[in-house]
Amino acid sequence: MITFRLSNGVYAYAAYLVLMVYFLWPGRFASLYEYIEGENIYDQLIRKTTKNISLMRNGLRCDYSEVIEENLSLFRPPYTEDIINNNVRLGGEYYPEDCLPSFSTAIIVPYRQRERQLNQFLIYMHNYLRRQRIHYRIFVIEQYDPKPFNRAKLFNIGALIAMGLDYPCLVLHDVDLMPMNLGHLYACSRKPRHMCSSLDVFRYNLPYRGLFGGAVAIESSVFLNINGMSNMFSGWGGEDDDLYARLQNKQIEICRFSPSYSQYSMLKHRKEAPNKDRVAFLKNGKLRYHTDGLNSLVYKQVGFKLHNLFTHVLVET
């Protein structure tokens, strides 16, 4: 019998090749997924606005073709440094005055003790969103109590407030995520959309197809249909997977835009403590979809204020 012995050098060389493939071709290990190409984006968007915008009769409709086609990379100075030509309305609302927008979007941001990130977010997002020529308003939902951070519950609170103000489209948005491509319109698509599928901390790859968090666009009617998000996921992790499972339970498919439109950058931050019960909650989640969500939401609103750049809702969960 002939035996072959591989030297340590051979093993080291093989390991080196694997590492080189990983770093030079990261997509080799990413989850492949279907996406909507840039030329088809506008046709996939739902053109719907709040009643006050719909009643405006003067002017022409805003044109979005140039914004989508050019898809400028905007995440850079001066857009990240200060508000440029500030014409944002009280409460963080904006709509163009020289044309009629086709989209009204409520951007809901759960928040607690991240003042520096919130400031960065507001500066950049107002510079970014105004160039898209949509009607939008930023809602910051702040958890005031010392309990573990309940991100999903804050999304539910913000969604109810936004829907009460007639917003047909919700964007559930983390405060530490910055969109890099201007062509990714902050409007709802025919299917709920995972917006940040090309994230820098994941080396612009999608870790797994069921990932549905960070920045999500979903119609208000669809969010109502699935009873919102679970209120039980305090601490880090699980609530986004539960949201995806709720959509699957209703046989609602999701979509994503092309990676060239979906690049996001994540600001550095300290992670919340993991929810030790998150796996169990996910396993039995289907039993609670109809009883745990918007229809079981209990909270105390301790403050509501219109700031120059956002609507601030202070709550105890």
The string of pLDDT tens digits covering residues 225-277 is 999 999 999 888 899 999 999 999 999 999 999 999 999 999 987 776 777 77
Lowest-confidence segment of 48-57, 132-141, 220-229 by average pLDDT: 48-57
Task: Tell me the pTM.
Answer: 0.89
Confidence band, pLDDT 50/70/90 cuts, at residue 7: low
Could you tell me the end-to-end alpha-carbon distance of the chain, in angstroms, rounded to an integer?
72
The string of pLDDT tens digits covering residues 19-69 is 554 444 444 444 689 999 999 999 999 999 999 998 887 779 999 999 999
Say what the pLDDT of residue 26 is: 46
Residues 113, 100: Cα–Cα separation, whole Å: 37
Smallest Cα–Cα separation from 273: which of 137, 185, 186, 146? Answer: 146
Query: What is the fold of 29-316?
Result: Spore Coat Polysaccharide Biosynthesis Protein SpsA; Chain A (3.90.550)
Q: Where are the alpha helices (DSSP H) in the chain?
A: 8-24, 41-44, 51-54, 65-70, 115-130, 151-164, 220-225, 239-249, 278-283
Residue 81 CB neighbour total at 10 angstroms: 12
DSSP assignment string, 126-171: HHHHHTTT-EEEEEEEEE-SSSPP-HHHHHHHHHHHHHHTT-SEEE
SS3 content of the chain, % helix, strand, coil (to 5): 30, 20, 45
Average pLDDT score over residue span 172-200: 98
